[in-house]
């Protein structure tokens, strides 16, 4: 469950920086029509520019950031039989999925997890934890690889970027509207913007971003079912189910917050969960198998 939280965290940080920059350079002042009321059309346009910029920057740096934050060691030339098999299996599964073989790496964790990330199908990364490689059998590892490759094949990161861009747009738009209303109604500022506008806008943006993440996480949970189904088509439903059962019994790692979203597993599902429960994923495979 790795790349969504990384993506969301990066996107959130970029939005905050862009919002502060917008205030410093007086863009908010430009959106204040004749110093009296908001220019709603201009505000919506600027919100969309900033919102989509934040999400696309997050997408473009996702692979680099994943490598750095998780300490992924890229395996290009195998040093042993296990690494040789892993590279060959990734290549075989990628061919079945009709995508370019992603980069492959291993990150040091004794717990069981994996993730895939990247800006496009032809510029992606699949990484497994050392614990997963050491404790799963080869059929289960194949299923995990197929699950991650399926995320890449399905274009989940690009789709997520577009959804996040739309969400960002409305978060920025409504946070500025709320700031403007507080400025005018509560603090009785008649022209321009007072300090309350900027403070309220930033606070509203943070709170709205948290609420908006519910939408993103709902979509993420739907994509997990789709990735499981695609993996089952490639390596067989029984292998995918076996991998999920192993994950549930081995207590998957509580990954760092910034990486807790597009790996193979997650905690019990909630509104803010990027993954459905493992039990519901197994039930879905059994039901559709």
Instruction: Check: CB of residue 93 under 8 Å from CB of residue 146.
Output: yes
The residue behind tokens 């997408």 is 59
Sequence-ordered strand ranges (E) for 11-93: 32-33, 37-38, 73-74
CA 61 to chain centre: 12
Q: Which two tokens stand for residue 252?
A: 């998957």
Instruction: Check: CB of residue 240 under 8 Å from CB of residue 188.
Output: no
Residue 106's beta-bridge partner residues?
73, 128
Instruction: Check: CB of residue 87 under 8 Å from CB of residue 78.
Output: yes
148 catalytic? Reply is yes
Give residues with Cβ within 8 angstroms of 243, minimum separation 6: 136, 139, 140, 141, 143, 144, 147, 264
Q: Which of 140, 148, 224, 279 is catalytic?
A: 148
Q: Which two tokens stand for residue 110?
A: 């004794």
Dihedral angle of Cα 187, 193, 196, 201, to the nearest 10 degrees: 130
In angstroms, the first-to-last Cα distance of the chain is 23
Instruction: Compute the radius of gyration of the chain from its Cα atoms.
Output: 22
DSSP line for 203-238: HHHHHHHHHHHHHHHHHHHHHHHHHHHHHHHHH-HH
Q: At what angle do helices 138-153 and 195-235 cross, to 10 degrees?
A: 130
Residues that are catalytic: 148
């Amino acid at each position: 469950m790795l790349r969504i939280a990384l993506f969301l965290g990066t996107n959130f940080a970029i939005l905050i920086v862009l919002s502060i920059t917008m205030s410093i350079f007086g863009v908010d002042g430009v959106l204040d029509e004749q110093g009296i009321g908001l220019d709603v059309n201009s505000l919506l346009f600027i919100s969309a520019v900033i919102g989509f910029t934040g999400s696309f920057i997050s997408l473009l740096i996702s692979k680099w950031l994943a490598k750095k934050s998780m300490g992924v060691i890229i395996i290009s030339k195998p040093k042993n039989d296990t690494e040789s098999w892993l590279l060959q299996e990734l290549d075989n599964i990628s061919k079945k999925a009709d995508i370019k073989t992603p980069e492959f790496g291993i990150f040091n964790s004794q717990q069981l997890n994996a993730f895939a990330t990247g800006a496009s199908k032809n510029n992606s990364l699949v990484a497994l934890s050392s614990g997963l490689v050491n404790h799963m059998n080869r059929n289960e590892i194949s299923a995990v690889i197929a699950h991650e490759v399926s995320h890449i094949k399905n274009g989940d990161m690009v789709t997520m970027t577009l959804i996040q861009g739309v969400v960002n747009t409305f978060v920025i738009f409504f946070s500025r509207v709320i700031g403007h209303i507080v400025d005018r109604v509560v603090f009785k500022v008649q022209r321009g913007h007072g300090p309350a506008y900027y403070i309220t806008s930033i606070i509203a943006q943070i709170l709205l971003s948290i609420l908006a993440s519910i939408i993103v996480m709902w979509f993420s949970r739907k994509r997990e079912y789709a990735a499981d189904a695609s993996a089952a088509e490639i390596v067989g439903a029984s292998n995918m189910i076996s991998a999920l059962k192993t994950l549930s019994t081995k207590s998957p790692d509580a990954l760092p917050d910034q990486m807790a979203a597009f790996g193979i597993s997650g905690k019990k599902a909630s509104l803010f969960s990027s993954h459905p429960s493992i039990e519901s994923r197994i039930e879905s495979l059994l039901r559709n198998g």
